[in-house]
C-alpha cells in the first residue's frame, strides 16, 4: 500500500508542475528506497522451477524397486488390477498402505500402466514433486504480497519465492521422497498439505471463494487418506488464516469458520485410525533375511532420541553429506546424547513461540516446520530416523535461510546493483551444488547392490544393512561373499536370533550343512518363536536326513507365519524329495494361493504336475508364469521349452483327428 501511495503522490506532483519528472525518478532511486530486484515474471519462475526439478531428478528413472517397494508393490496382490484395488479388504493390503487409499490407488494405476517396470512409477513421483514445487512457488509469492509483509520482501517476492522453491525442490534430502518409489506417499501428502493452505489463501482473495474453499477441504481429506502426517494440516491452516489472512480469531470464524470445521474432522479421523495401525509395517516374506521392523523402542526413549535425529536433519539441510536410506538410528542412552541435543531443540522451539508472539509471520514458519515433524518425531514409536520426514519441513528451513541471507546482504552492502549481483551469484552456486549432489545421490538408487553397499558404508552398526547386502549375494548365488557380512552381524548383536539365522543360511548354501544346522539351532534356542529360524533349521535338518525333526520345525514355522508362501514351497520341496508328491502338490497350491507371483512355486508345481503325468497345458501355464516372474531362471526356461516340445506332437494329433 505504501508503494502505491508514493507513486500516486509522485504522479500528482509531476502533473501539477511542483516537481519535474526527472526529480521524481531521482526520488524513486534514492538511497532510502528499497533496491529494485531482478524482474522475474511468474512464467519465468514456473519455467525455471520445472527445468531445475527435471534436471535434478532426470536420472531418477534409472532407480529400481528397493526395501519397502517389495511388500507394497511387488508382493501386493491388491494392485494387480483396478478391480482388485477397489475390492481389497484390510487383510489384502500391506500395512504400509493401510488407511492410505489415495497412495494405494496411485500405485495401482502405475501397475496398470507398466506392471513391475519402474519407469511409470518414477514418472508419477516426479510429477507429484513438480506440482508440489509449483504450488509452493505461488503460495510463497502470494503470501509475500500480503499486507504487513516488509517492503523489501514484497518488492522481491518473485525472486525470493523462486530461490526458496528451488532450494527445496532440488535438495538432496528430497531424493528419498522422489526417487524411492513407495515414499511417494510422503511427497503426495506434502502436495495435498501445501494445496490445502494454497487454496485457503486463494479463496480469501478471490470472488469465487467457494470453489477455492471446497478445493482446500478436498485437498485436506485427500491428504488424510494418503498419509497420517497430514494430521497437523488443519491446525497449520488455521494458524495461517489467523496470522496472514485475518485481523482476529473472530474474523477467522466469521469468514472461514465452516472451512476449518470441515477440515478439522480429518485430524480426528487420523488419530482414530492410527490406533488401529501397527506401529511399523509388516516385513516382506524374505527367504533368508529376518525383519528389521521389530526393532522399535518405547515412546519415552523415542522422544528422548528425537532431538539428536532432528539436529541430524538440520545438518543434512545445510551440508547434505552422509545421506543414508536406513540409518537404524540408535536409541539415545547417555546424558550427553539426550541433554545437549534436547537443549538445542528446546531453544529453537522456544524461539518459534517467542517469534509467534513478537513477529507472527516468522514464528509461523518455525512452528509449522515443527508441527509437520511432530507426528513422527515425538512419542509415536516408529523407526527413529528417515530423511523423507523432512520433505515439507525443509521448505520452512529454506525460507528462513533465504530471508536471513537476503537481510544480511542488504545490511552489509549498500549498492543495490552489487546486492543483486551477490544474491544472484550466491543463489546460482548453491542451486548448482544442490542439483549436482541430488543427481549423484540418485545414482545410489540404480541397483540394489549399490544401495546396500552405500547403507553398509554409511551405517556400519546397522545389522540390517549387512543382512540386505548378504541377502543380495545369496540371490546371485554368491554365498561366499554373503557369509562374512552375516558374521559381522553376530558380533554387533550376538544375542539376536536373526543374525545366527543369516549365518546358517549362508553356510547351508555353501553346502556346510552340519555347521549350518548348528548356527540355526542356536537361533532357535535364542528365539523359539522366530519363524525364519524354524523354517531354515527344518530345511537343514531335512537335508541331513533328520526327517522327524525337520517336520517338527516346519510345523512350527507354518504355525508362526501361516501366510508365508516360501515356507509352504520349501515344505513341498522336502515332501517331493521323499516321494510324497500328493502332499507336496497341496503345499505348492497353497503357496500360490498365498502369493500367486511366487516364481519358484510355479516352477515346482509345473515340475510336480509333469512328474505325475498331469496336464501338460497346466504345467506349461505354471512354467510360463515362472519365466515371466523370474526371467533369469534357467530352470524355468528349460522346463517351459521341454513341456512345449511334449505338447507339440499332441497338438498336431488333435488337428489331424479334427480333419
pLDDT at 195 over 50: yes
Cα(63)–Cα(117) distance, integer angstroms = 11
At residue 100 the predicted structure's pLDDT band, cuts being 50, 70 and 90, is confident
At residue 269 the predicted structure's pLDDT band, cuts being 50, 70 and 90, is confident
pLDDT at 15 over 50: no
pLDDT at 275: 65
At residue 280 the predicted structure's pLDDT band, cuts being 50, 70 and 90, is very low
Task: Give the residue-averaged pLDDT of 571-582.
Answer: 88
pLDDT at 51 over 80: yes
Mean of per-residue pLDDT scores for the chain: 86
pLDDT at 294: 42
Task: Give the residue-averaged pLDDT of 482-509.
Answer: 95
Cell of 512: 556346510
Q: What is the pTM of this model?
A: 0.84
**Cβ distance 60 to 178 under 8 Å?**
yes
Q: Tell me: the pLDDT tens digits for 221-234?
A: 999 999 999 999 99
pLDDT at 27 over 70: no
**Cβ distance 263 to 216 under 8 Å?**
yes
At residue 504 the predicted structure's pLDDT band, cuts being 50, 70 and 90, is very high
pLDDT at 34: 38
Beta-carbon contacts of residue 263 (< 8 Å; ≥ 6 apart): 196, 216, 217, 220, 221, 233, 234, 237
Number of C-beta neighbours around residue 230 at 10 A: 25
Return the DSSP state at 229. Answer: G
Q: Which of 38-42, 479-483, 582-586 has the lowest mean pLDDT?
A: 38-42
C-alpha Rg value of the chain to the nearest Å: 30
Number of C-beta neighbours around residue 358 at 10 A: 9
Q: Which of 14-28, 300-314, 403-417 has the lowest mean pLDDT?
A: 14-28
pLDDT at 87: 63
pLDDT at 657: 53
Q: Tell me: the pLDDT tens digits for 380-418?
A: 878 889 999 999 999 999 999 999 999 999 999 989 899
pLDDT at 95: 62
What share of the chain has pLDDT > 90, as a percent? 64
pLDDT at 536: 95
Cα(341)–Cα(329) distance, integer angstroms = 15
Helical axes 101-114 vs 184-204, angle rounded to 10°: 120
Domains of the chain, CATH where assigned: 42-64+118-279+290-431 (no CATH), 460-562 (1.25.40.10), 592-659 (1.25.40.10)
Query: Residue 320 phi/psi, 5° resolution?
Result: -75, 70
pLDDT at 613: 80
Cell of 365: 514458519
Q: Which of 218-222, 256-260, 270-274, 616-620 has the lowest mean pLDDT?
A: 270-274
pLDDT at 14: 34
pLDDT at 615: 82
Q: Which residues of 30-65 are buried (b: 16+ CB within 10 A; e: fewer)?
A: eeeeebebeebeeeebbebbeebbeebbebbbebeb
Q: Which of 86-95, 114-123, 239-248, 566-575 has the lowest mean pLDDT?
A: 86-95
Of 596, 601, 590, nearest to 74 by C-alpha is: 596
Amino acid at each position: 500500500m505504501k508503494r502505491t501511495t508514493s507513486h500516486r503522490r509522485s504522479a500528482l506532483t509531476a502533473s501539477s508542475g511542483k516537481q519535474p519528472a526527472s526529480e521524481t525518478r531521482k526520488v524513486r532511486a534514492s538511497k532510502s528506497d528499497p533496491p529494485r530486484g531482478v524482474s522475474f515474471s511468474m512464467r519465468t519462475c514456473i519455467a525455471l522451477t520445472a527445468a531445475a526439478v527435471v534436471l535434478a531428478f532426470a536420472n531418477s528413472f534409472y532407480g529400481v524397486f528397493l526395501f519397502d517397494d517389495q511388500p507394497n508393490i511387488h508382493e501386493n496382490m491388491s494392485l494387480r488390477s483396478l478391480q482388485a484395488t477397489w475390492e481389497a479388504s484390510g487383510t489384502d493390503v500391506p500395512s504400509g498402505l493401510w488407511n492410505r487409499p489415495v497412495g494405494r490407488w496411485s500405485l495401482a494405476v502405475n501397475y496398470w500402466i507398466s506392471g513391475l517396470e519402474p519407469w511409470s512409477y518414477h514418472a508419477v513421483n516426479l510429477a507429484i514433486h513438480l506440482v508440489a514445487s509449483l504450488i509452493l512457488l505461488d503460495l510463497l509469492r502470494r503470501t509475500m504480497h500480503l499486507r504487513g509483509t516488509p517492503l523489501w520482501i514484497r518488492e522481491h517476492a518473485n525472486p525470493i519465492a523462486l530461490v526458496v522453491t528451488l532450494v527445496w525442490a532440488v535438495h538432496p534430502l528430497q531424493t528419498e521422497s522422489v526417487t524411492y518409489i513407495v515414499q511417494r506417499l510422503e511427497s503426495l501428502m506434502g502436495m495435498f498439505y501445501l494445496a490445502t493452505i494454497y487454496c485457503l489463501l486463494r479463496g480469501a482473495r478471490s470472488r469465487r471463494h467457494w470453489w477455492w474453499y471446497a478445493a482446500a477441504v478436498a485437498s485436506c481429506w485427500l491428504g488424510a487418506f494418503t498419509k497420517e502426517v497430514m494430521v497437523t494440516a488443519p491446525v497449520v491452516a488455521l494458524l495461517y488464516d489467523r496470522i496472514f489472512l485475518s485481523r482476529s480469531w473472530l474474523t477467522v470464524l466469521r469468514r472461514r469458520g465452516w472451512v476449518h470445521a470441515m477440515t478439522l474432522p480429518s485430524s480426528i479421523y487420523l488419530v482414530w485410525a492410527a490406533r488401529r495401525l501397527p506401529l511399523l509395517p509388516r516385513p516382506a516374506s524374505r527367504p533368508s533375511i529376518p525383519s528389521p521392523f521389530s526393532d522399535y523402542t518405547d515412546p519415552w526413549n523415542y522422544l528422548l532420541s528425537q532431538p539428536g535425529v532432528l539436529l541430524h536433519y538440520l545438518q543434512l539441510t545445510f551440508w547434505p553429506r552422509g545421506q543414508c536410506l536406513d540409518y537404524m538410528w540408535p536409541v539415545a542412552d547417555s546424558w550427553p546424547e539426550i541433554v545437549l541435543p534436547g537443549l538445542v531443540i528446546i531453544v529453537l522451539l522456544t524461539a518459534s513461540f517467542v517469534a509467534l508472539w513478537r513477529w507472527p509471520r516468522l514464528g509461523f514458519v518455525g512452528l509449522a516446520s515443527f508441527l509437520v515433524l511432530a507426528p513422527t518425531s515425538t512419542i509415536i514409536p516408529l523407526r527413529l530416523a528417515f530423511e523423507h520426514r523432512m520433505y515439507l519441513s525443509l521448505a520452512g528451513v529454506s525460507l528462513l535461510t533465504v530471508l536471513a541471507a537476503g537481510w544480511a546482504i542488504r545490511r552489509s552492502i549498500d549498492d543495490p546493483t552489487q546486492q543483486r549481483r551477490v544474491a544472484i551469484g550466491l543463489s546460482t552456486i548453491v542451486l548448482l551444488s544442490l542439483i549436482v549432489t541430488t543427481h549423484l545421490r540418485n545414482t545410489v538408487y540404480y541397483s540394489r547392490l549399490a544401495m546396500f553397499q552405500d547403507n553398509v558404508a554409511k551405517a556400519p552398526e546397522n545389522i540390517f544393512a549387512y543382512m540386505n547386502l548378504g541377502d543380495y549375494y545369496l540371490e546371485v548365488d554368491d554365498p561366499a561373499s554373503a557369509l562374512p557380512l552375516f558374521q559381522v552381524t553376530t558380533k554387533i548383536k550376538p544375542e539376536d536370533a536373526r543374525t545366527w539365522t543369516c549365518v546358517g543360511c549362508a553356510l547351508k548354501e555353501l553346502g556346510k550343512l552340519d555347521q549350518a544346522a548348528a548356527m540355526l539351532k542356536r537361533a532357535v534356542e535364542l528365539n523359539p518363536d522366530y519363524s525364519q529360524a524354524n523354517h531354515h533349521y527344518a530345511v537343514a535338518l531335512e537335508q541331513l536326513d533328520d526327517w522327524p525333526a525337520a517336520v517338527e520345525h516346519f510345523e512350527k514355522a507354518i504355525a508362526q507365519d501361516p501366510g508365508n508362501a516360501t515356507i509352504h514351497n520349501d515344505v513341498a520341496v522336502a515332501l517331493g524329495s521323499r516321494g510324497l508328491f500328493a502332499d507336496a502338490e497341496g503345499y505348492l497350491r497353497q503357496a500360490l494361493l498365498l502369493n500367486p507371483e511366487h516364481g519358484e512355486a510355479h516352477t515346482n508345481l509345473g515340475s510336480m504336475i509333469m512328474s505325475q503325468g498331469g496336464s501338460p497345458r497346466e504345467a506349461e501355464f505354471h512354467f510360463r508364469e515362472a519365466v515371466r516372474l523370474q526371467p533369469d531362471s534357467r530352470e524355468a526356461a528349460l522346463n517351459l521349452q521341454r513341456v512345449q516340445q511334449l505338447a507339440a506332437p499332441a497338438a498336431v494329433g488333435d488337428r489331424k483327428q479334427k480333419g
